[in-house]
Amino acid sequence: MARRIPPTDVLITLMGSPNEDDRTTTALRLAQALLERGASVQIWTCGNATLLTQRGLTDDKPRNLASWNSAYPTTAALAQRMLKAFPDQLYWYGCRFCSDDRGAVDHLPEVVMRPPAGYAANVAAATRNLMVGVI
């Protein structure tokens, strides 16, 4: 039986690669702003953006040699904190094909991996769709 996708006000499809430009930052800022205003949001990652929520990233980035005692949260930690802060408003999905294709097979338990053919159901479940970047 097909998974039921909870309806949301906005779907943010993040296809742009992390570490290439500031699209990931923009997408997360936008999601946070929408959530703080009470909107419901689903994030769908494709391509290299599926790498954002790997558990292997752990909570903190590797140490900064120039600032040894500073802590820098990973994108996985930040995604988890966002999901925890907005439990009934934010959903995070990932494209299983893109993820498997990159060897990223161990995601946060809160992240729902979906087949590419399932994307249409996510689009249909959102009132507005915003695509950020391309694969």
Query: By the 8 A CB rule, do 122 and 3 touch?
Result: no
Our finding on whether 21 is near another protein (CB under 8 A) is yes
Residue indicated by tokens 């499809």: 13
The two three-digit tokens of residue 20, written as one number: 């290439």
Q: How does 15-32 read in b/e, with b if 16+ C-beta sit within 10 Å?
A: bbbbeeeebbeebbebbb
Nearer to another protein, 82 or 118 (CB): 82
Which of these ranges, 83-91, 93-101, 103-111, 124-132, lies near another protein under the rule CB under 8 A? Answer: 83-91
Comparison of 79 and 118: residue with beta carbon closer to another protein: 79
2 part of the interface to another protein, by CB under 8 A: no
Strand order in the sheet with 8-14: 112-114, 90-95, 41-45, 8-14, 126-132
Identify which range of 12-20, 100-108, 112-120, 127-135 contacts another protein by CB under 8 A. Answer: 12-20
Among 55, 73, 97, 123, binds another protein (CB under 8 A): 73
Could you give the CA distance from residue 119 to residue 122 in angstroms, rounded to a whole number? 5
Residue 40 in the binding site for another protein (CB under 8 A): no
Taking CB under 8 A as the binding criterion, the range among 23-31, 37-45, 99-107, 126-134 that sits at the site for another protein is 23-31
